Amino acid sequence: MKNNIYLSGLNTAVFDIETTGLYPSSDNLVLGGIYSVSDHAVIQHFAEDPSQEADVIQKTLDDLRQYDAVITYNGDSFDWPFLYRRARRYGIPTNRTPYQSIDLYRWLKLYWPQAASLPSLKQKSVEVALGLSENREDLISGAQSALLYRNYVLTKEPGDKRDMLLHNRDDLSQLCRIGDSLSFLPYHRIAAEQGFLIKGISRNIRVLKISWNGLRLSAEALADKGLLPASIYGSNYDLEYDPGDGSLTFHVLCEQREGLTFADLNTLPISHEKFMAVGGFHHGRLVLKDTKQTFDRSVCMLIRESIEALMKEELNE
């Protein structure tokens, strides 16, 4: 997603699984596919038969831990829950440093007005709408892939495996193309509503939610567990980090004057340099809202810079 500045500097991958059905309680995960956005490499872990499922899950999880952000299509509702539930079945740990999950199905449904006019929001329908369908080579669906796998387990027909791997590879590469085509999405609004990742040298912090309560701007975030506890207070801000569950909260009390809601950056331990080019920044005060709208870019920038400054030692560990 080269147009999304919130992914700048993040090691990003596309992720897709193939299964024998829709139910992790009774179906198997048979293929984990990962596409590295930076070097365009595809890794596919394939189970020659169901007895290799645990090995495929372990290798897939190990590879995914390398990435700060992972793009899926309906992954928040299907791929991730299926992978984690099957992992728990085998006692495979799923813990990792916080990362950003980008479910493009969800983003398109919420933030793309044209989505409502499509016959469906299946990935292939979106590819057609965006003029990307000619890039696809495979001719099967996910349901057909499951049938091919059942046949492959019995017959070891090379063509069945080849078609499954091609289907998964095309889903991965096409999803990357979809992401690169979405320059029209409101990325600052998405970041404000869906969260974003703050990347450190050895640790990440995932901002989960940003909200307003009167003049108080709040952010809820998730960091690694087990760091030194933190309770940091200023004249108009506070940050609390709980090492038990990794939860982090940040609040800043803003001011209001002549219909403008703004934060006084002079009272925060952050540099003003990055805000110089942002509209609505004057004499150390950053406008975050007026009577008509919230300036999502400024809100996200304030949250990022404040948390980075207050958690500097932990992020640079």
Closest CA to 177 of 124, 228, 224: 124
Angle between helices 187-194 and 104-111 (to 10 degrees): 110
**C-beta atoms surrounding 189 within 10 Å:** 16
- Amino acid letter, residue 22: L
Output the pLDDT for position 316: 75
What would you report as the CA-atom Rg of the chain, rounded to the nearest whole angstrom? Answer: 22
CB 108 within 8 A of CB 138: no
**C-beta atoms surrounding 137 within 10 Å:** 11
pLDDT tens per residue, range 104-155: 999 999 999 999 999 899 999 999 999 998 888 877 888 889 999 999 999 9
CATH code linked to domain 5-180: 3.30.420.10
What is the SS3 assignment for the chain? CCCCHHHCCCCEEEEEEEECCCCCCCCCEEEEEEEECCCCCEEEEECCCHHHHHHHHHHHHHHHCCCCEEEECCCCCCHHHHHHHHHHHCCCCCCCCCCEEEEHHHHHHHHCHHHHHCCCCCHHHHHHHCCCHHHCCCCCCHHHHHHHHHHHHHHCCHHHHHHHHHHHHHHHHHHHHHHHCCCCCCHHHHHHHHCEEEECCCCEEEEEEEEEECCEEEEEEECCCCCCCEEEECCCEEEEECCCCCEEEEEEECEEECCEEEEEHHHCCCCCHHHCCCCCEECCEEEEECCCCECHHHHHHHHHHHHHHHCHHHHCC
C-alpha distance from residue 152 to each of 24, 43, 156 (Å)? 20, 20, 5
> Domain spans of the chain?
5-180, 187-315
- Spans in the chain with pLDDT lower than 70: 317
Output the pLDDT for position 1: 75
CA angle 221, 268, 6 (to 5 degrees): 45
Output the pLDDT for position 202: 80
Number of residues that make up the chain: 317
**C-beta atoms surrounding 88 within 10 Å:** 13
Output the pLDDT for position 228: 83
Output the pLDDT for position 317: 64
Read off the tokens for 246: 């990794």
Distance (Å, rounded) from C-alpha 125 to C-alpha 132?
A: 10
